[in-house]
Amino acid sequence: MFDIGFSELVVIAVVALIVIGPERLPKAARTMGHLFGRLQRYVSDVKADISREMELDELRKLQQQVQTAAHDFKSSVASAAQGVQSGVRNVEDQLNSGALDSARTAEPSAAPPAAAPAIGEQPLAAAAEEPSTQPGRQPSLPGFERI
């Protein structure tokens, strides 16, 4: 703390011995030692408090950065989810409009009269209503044959 050399300490000790006297000098030295110890503890406590406050301030800054990053991540995930939802809606709308268009084109406005089926043949309407008997193949909706 202070720039005091050995020679200055000797001068202070001699002056203290002359001023205080040899009877009271040990008690005064002990009291000075206790006071100096208290001063050192007080200074170390103040340093520790200051360092804790600095660390607490750094932690608050770090917490703010983490919260900002979490908010940014949350907003980016929400915008990506909205993009995916709108894409799904667009595909769904396209599929629905394609199914309606193919259903409209599949229904002729004036159907030609059906010819009588030959013996052993099924009528076309009955064949169209029967589900497919091929394994792994399920009947599909109109307009989905291309998919």
pTM: 0.43
Confidence of residue 140 (pLDDT cuts 50, 70, 90): low
Could you tell me where the DSSP H helices lie in 21-140?
25-106, 124-129
Q: How far apart are CA 26 and CA 20, in angstroms?
A: 10
pLDDT band at 82 (very low <50, low <70, confident <90, very high): very high
CA atoms of 15 and 82, how far apart (whole Å): 86
pLDDT per residue as tens digits for the range 9-39: 899 889 988 998 889 989 998 999 999 999 9
pLDDT at 127: 47
- Cα separation, 106 vs 33, whole angstroms: 107
Percent of the chain with pLDDT over 90: 47
Which of 87, 109, 101 lies closest to 144 in space, CA to CA?
Answer: 101
